[in-house]
A and B are shown apart, each in its own frame.
Chain A
């Protein structure tokens, strides 16, 4: 049984679900089932598809509430887990018809990150010479170049639902691809522009990691960009939060919630004054005093040993 979200703007005022019965057998994918429905039950069912091999990214859609490639998702695996296989268009993008969305927003966010190599003048002047990467350098950027631009991470990004200034996981991972490329002329400039396009909007929900059909792990790239941004002197609240965490652990081995509040929020902490009073009355307001853990010297030694070891 398939429950598919239908929407034809010429007829429907709002989207609705239609139910279709399909005999699920053998190595049937969700895409196979959709094609079966289109061929045998309802020719008006609209969806994108092309390569059927997980390369083009066209058939990406929400299957049982998570964004996946229909051609890589086994109906035989989905069916036993749910009473009906729920199929919906991607989130965070306007619907055009049935399972087809307008991906314009996704592409605009990708462009906002300038996803192209900015060469310096000498490289640009002599394009006859190859400018090769070492094997190690290639390892970082080739993983990030595995993107098929399907938009699955953008669709499942929770922050993007609520924060339209967040350019999304794909765009940030694409930026990291060029920050990590030694041929790029402006890696520091790219890092410097990250805060304004939402570097600190990611919540670590890991949906972009779990749902990427190419295992690109955009969130890992976001974390690396944050490391670089902090190291470059980022003074935003997000960076202050990281530094406050680090300071607190180095000092006592533990998180000091009170100093984390103060160092991250500074005067904005006053917005929570009422809450802090109520917490204090209940005996659970964060205390600025925390004794160091036993063997704190070991933690501090590790700090000294690892200081400055930040890699792209």
Chain B
């Protein structure tokens, strides 16, 4: 399996452990990741609120680069996934926008035809790799763990742009968690917003959101939470201590990236998965392996 790899800015910045663990997992699964090094940031919804047309053009530039290599795009960030899928949908529905975008891209020698697909690693493992095959690769089944899946927003909504699973009752994370031998929990908040998009300017609200969902998962007995989005990870993990201080709730719930979860079950050494960079201690989880 070969993909045009779009790790996103946060995986190469504040959540570098996501980038590192994905590289390890891809190696183990025999997946070739051809990084789109000349691709620009997806804009995470903010670029769309600065200049929507530019947002379309720059994201299409990324898609066209993958298309030139005849490869689908693989992302490890739900937000990048959502933004690029929305741009694809806009271009599909609006022929005038499609032409205007290609007119601009023509000036840098690129053309977008609309053939490329954008797939999160979560989708790739289910659709392309297959859960049975993944299950067969598990060397350290996570049987002693109860895992809380946190989908967040961009990988599910708007549903007409994502089209991977039922946004009202998603089960992709649950299916993977079960394939790795762990128990998957349901809790109130698993498909809600982690608060990240307003973390820098509506902090009180953002903290209330994250601490409530973390607490809900904890109350259901979760040993740890998993998220396919590094922005959710920042809100739920990096800022967890600050959020719980404001909410006066002690959660101390470890939150892992999706690739780290896979890596654990594949028997990749924890130090290669970047757990030492976590702000909430993973010690209890790693001891339980």
Question: What is A's interface to B at a CB cutoff of 8 Å?
Answer: 64-66, 81-82, 158-159, 162-163, 200-207, 209-210, 217, 223-224, 226-227, 230, 236-238, 240-243, 245-246, 248-249, 253-255, 257, 260-261, 264-265, 271-272, 275, 278-279, 282-287, 290, 293-295, 298-299, 301-303, 305-307, 309-310
Contact = CB atoms under 8 A, between A and B. Distances in A.
Contact of B43 (A64, A237, A249): A249
B40 to A, nearest CB: 4
B49 A242 contact: yes
Contacts of B204: 162-163
A206 B157 contact: yes
Given A203-B193, A253-B41, A298-B108, A245 B50 contact: yes
In this complex, the member of A205, A275, A294 whose beta carbon has the largest number of chain B beta carbons within 10 angstroms is: A205
Contact of A210 (B159, B239, B242): B159
Given A163-B202, A260-B200, A309-B51, A205 B13 contact: no
Contacts of B289: none
Interface stretch (B128-136, B166-174, B175-183, B249-257): B166-174
B153 interface: yes
B164 to A, nearest CB: 14
Given A282-B277, A306-B54, A301 B108 contact: yes
A302 B61 contact: yes
Given A226-B49, A284-B16, A306-B57, A257 B157 contact: no
Interface of B: 9-10, 12-17, 37-41, 43-54, 57-58, 61, 104, 107-108, 153-154, 156-159, 166-169, 188, 192-193, 195-198, 200-206, 208-209, 238-239, 242, 276-277, 279
Given A201-B198, A238-B198, 18 more contacts: A81-B169, A162-B205, A200-B198, A205-B193, A206-B157, A210-B157, A210-B159, A242-B47, A245-B44, A253-B40, A254-B40, A284-B277, A290-B13, A293-B38, A302-B108, A305-B104, A306-B54, A310-B52
Q: Give the dominant DSSP class at A's interface.
A: helix
A89 B145 CA distance: 35
Contacts of A162: 204-205, 208-209
Nearest to A253: B40
A209 B158 contact: yes
Q: Give the dominant DSSP class at B's interface.
A: loop
A206 B159 CA distance: 9
B198 A279 contact: no
Contact of B54 (A203, A248, A302): A302
B192 A246 contact: no
B200 A227 contact: no
A255 B53 contact: no
